[in-house]
């Protein structure tokens, strides 16, 4: 290895770098933005837990030098809820894919958002199941080609930001990997927020999704993001569409709301007081 | 020419554009070329040499052009490039 040291070296497990992701994949950019946010906020790494599910991006838990947790398929949010309630001092960051969070773990996600559990979810949306060979999933756009939709997808995709906002999240944003700076700022904002925050990151998957959709390299997919993305901060997430012509990104929701952990602690102290007085 | 280009900022003479020094960790590069494509000043180009994985790492074309925006560092998925400010006290 070269003797030059990257400024983020202490935030990564050096023996695991270089990571396993393909060339042109955007997961590395998400990792980059995440560790930059941790560095900028100067958070104690012993107080951060990175939880990841199954999928390409699931390997992120092995690359960050925080405490980390690689969980069963779809259960990243459920495990994170448990960790947060057991030790409220920790900062819980769930980084997982669209298939893991919304197909297999869909119910965990919506109920964690409804309860407003104090966890921060970053979803890498690459429009398909990349790790298993590019099958179509709940976020594959209409008419897109994948290995299991060789004539085009006939199902309507999820609008993830709308789903999160409707379920009750306190902070909802969507960025692409090309908007690395805005994404970093957004992660920083989400990490300081109390309650459930959700950031969807649209990620290039040139090896599998791009290959079927006439975007063979990471640069082709990033250029599509550059051409199609439109920043609409504070707009209605219901209208935030993803089509080949238009990707609506931005910060959609940022509200204050008491978190589940706080309400639970308040209730516990109230009941304990009542019991003491009663006796 | 658009308005915003022919009006010069009033403090343009006082502002000094920082100069960046680019460090490339060649063995880590996977040749995605994001840094080359998205550099706003076209400082980098693809080199002809191979690294140990068989990819062409980027090469600095003109380091005097680098204005230390740091976007190559932000957009690199492999932590293979970073920029530091060049010490220009003795002239660049």
CATH no., domain A9-278 = 3.40.50.970
Name the average pLDDT for chain A.
93
The reported pLDDT for the residue numbered A2 is: 47
Please check whether residue B64 lies inside any domain of the structure.
yes
Check if A21 contacts B (Cβ < 8 Å): yes
**pLDDT tens-digit map of A222-269:** 999 999 999 999 999 999 989 999 999 999 999 999 999 999 999 999
Please check whether residue B62 lies inside any domain of the structure.
yes
Verify cis geometry, omega within 30 degrees of 0, for the bond prior to A18: yes
What confidence category does residue A179 fall into, taking pLDDT thresholds of 50, 70 and 90?
A: very high
The reported pLDDT for the residue numbered B91 is: 63
The reported pLDDT for the residue numbered A181 is: 94
The reported pLDDT for the residue numbered B12 is: 81
For chain A, give every domain's residue range: 9-278
Please check whether residue B43 lies inside any domain of the structure.
yes
Asked if residue A35 has pLDDT above 90, the reply is: yes
Please check whether residue B59 lies inside any domain of the structure.
yes
Asked if residue B22 has pLDDT above 80, the reply is: yes
Return the number of other C-beta atoms located less than 10 Å from residue B51's C-beta: 18
% of chain B residues with pLDDT over 70: 90
CA distances from A243 to A229, A253, A260 (A): 10, 21, 35
Contacts of A181 in chain B (CB under 8 A): 71, 74
CA distance B3 to chain A (A): 24
What confidence category does residue A1 fall into, taking pLDDT thresholds of 50, 70 and 90?
A: very low
Which of B68, B78, B84, B85 would you mutate first to test chain A, the one with the most A CBs within 10 A? B78
Please check whether residue B61 lies inside any domain of the structure.
yes
The reported pLDDT for the residue numbered B16 is: 83
Find residues 136-155 of chain A whose CB sits inside 8 Å of chain B.
none
Task: Out of B30, B74, B77, name the one closest to residue A27 (CB).
Answer: B77
Contacts of B31 in chain A (CB under 8 A): 23
Region A64-89: what's the mean pLDDT?
Answer: 94
Checking ipTM against 0.90, whether it exceeds it is: no
Check if A27 contacts B (Cβ < 8 Å): yes
**pLDDT tens-digit map of B28-85:** 999 999 999 999 989 999 999 999 989 999 999 988 889 899 999 999 999 999 999 8
What is the number of structural domains in chain B?
1
Domain of residue B55, residue span: 29-71+79-86
């Amino acid at each position: 290895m070269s003797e030059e040291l990257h400024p983020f070296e202490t935030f990564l497990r050096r023996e695991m770098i270089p990571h396993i992701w393909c060339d042109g994949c955007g997961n590395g950019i998400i990792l980059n933005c995440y560790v930059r946010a941790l560095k900028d906020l100067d958070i104690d790494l012993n107080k951060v837990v990175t939880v990841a599910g199954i999928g390409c991006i699931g390997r992120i838990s092995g690359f960050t030098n925080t405490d980390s947790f690689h969980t069963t398929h779809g259960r990243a949010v459920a495990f994170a809820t448990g960790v947060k309630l057991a030790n409220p001092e920790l900062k819980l960051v769930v980084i997982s894919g669209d298939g893991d969070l919304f197909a297999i773990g869909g119910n965990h996600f919506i109920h964690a958002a409804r309860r407003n559990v104090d966890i921060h979810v970053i979803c890498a949306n690459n429009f398909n199941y990349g790790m298993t060979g590019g099958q179509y999933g709940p976020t594959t756009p209409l008419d897109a080609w994948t290995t299991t939709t060789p004539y085009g997808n006939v199902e309507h995709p999820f609008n993830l930001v709308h789903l999160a906002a409707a379920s009750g999240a306190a902070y909802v944003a969507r960025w692409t990997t090309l908007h690395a700076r805005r994404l970093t700022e957004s992660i920083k904002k989400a990490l300081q927020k109390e309650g459930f925050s959700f950031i969807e990151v649209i990620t290039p998957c040139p090896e599998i999704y791009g290959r079927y959709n006439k975007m063979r390299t990471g640069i082709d997919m990033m250029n599509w993001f550059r051409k199609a993305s439109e920043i609409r901060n504070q707009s209605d997430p219901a209208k935030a569409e993803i089509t080949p012509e238009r990707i609506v990104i931005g910060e959609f929701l940022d509200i204050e709301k008491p978190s589940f952990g706080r309400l639970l602690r308040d209730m516990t102290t109230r009941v304990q007081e009542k019991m003491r007085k009663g006796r | 020419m658009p308005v915003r280009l022919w009006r010069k900022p009033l403090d343009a003479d006082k502002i000094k554009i920082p100069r960046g020094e680019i460090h490339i960790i060649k063995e880590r590069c996977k040749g995605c070329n994001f840094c080359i494509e998205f550099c706003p000043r076209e400082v980098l180009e693809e080199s002809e040499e191979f690294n140990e994985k068989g990819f062409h790492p980027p090469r600095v074309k003109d380091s005097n052009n680098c204005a230390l925006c740091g976007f190559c560092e932000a957009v690199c998925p492999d932590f293979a490039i970073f920029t530091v400010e060049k010490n220009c006290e003795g002239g660049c």
